[in-house]
Amino acid sequence: MTYSLTVRDHMMIAHSFTGEMFGPAQQLHGATYVVDATFRAEQLHADGVVVDIGRASDALHRILSRLSYRNLDDEPAFAGVNTTTERLCSHVAEQLVDVARDGGLGGADLTAIAVTMRESHIAWASYEVSL
């Protein structure tokens, strides 16, 4: 049995992709992602939660605010790689894992953190880290 708690935020970025598999996205373009962060636990914390929604929301917002309104082509963290939806998911998920391991989320013993990003109403990607 696994509980999960999901919080949602969004971010706006600019980027371009390298590679012949991409079409117009090889040009600089903007994207607005709807971002879901899901926290999983097998047992609830004594207070009855997986994580506090406020803490989870704040952590996700802080991470996204470091990317939002940026041209990701200029960000050293992504030098030489395409900032695909999949890669952005792993980037955000790994930072949430760091927050969780530093005790910044409180709550129950988490078993996993997953991040899903919707780049449009027809396409999304996810990345999940087991803890």
Give min distance, CB of 24 to ligand LPXRUNBV, in A. Answer: 4
Q: How far apart are CA 9 and CA 109, in angstroms?
A: 23
Residue 84 interacts with ligand LPXRUNBV (CB under 6 A)? yes
* Identity of the residue, 3 or 78, whose beta carbon is nearer to ligand LPXRUNBV in the bound complex: 78
* Identity of the residue, 18 or 43, whose beta carbon is nearer to ligand LPXRUNBV in the bound complex: 18
Q: How many residues does the chain have?
A: 131
Query: In whole angstroms, how large is the CA radius of gyration of the chain?
Result: 16
* Cβ–Cβ under 8 Å, residues 13 and 30: yes
- Using CB under 6 A, count the residues that bind ligand LPXRUNBV: 9
Residue 119 interacts with ligand LPXRUNBV (CB under 6 A)? yes
Of 2-10, 17-25, 32-40, 58-66, which part binds ligand LPXRUNBV (CB under 6 A)? Answer: 17-25
The pair of structure tokens assigned to 52 is 């506090």
Cβ-proximal residues to 93 (8 Å cutoff; 6+ apart), any chain: 37, 113, 114, 115, 127, 128, 129
Residues that bind ligand LPXRUNBV (CB under 6 A): 21-25, 84-86, 119
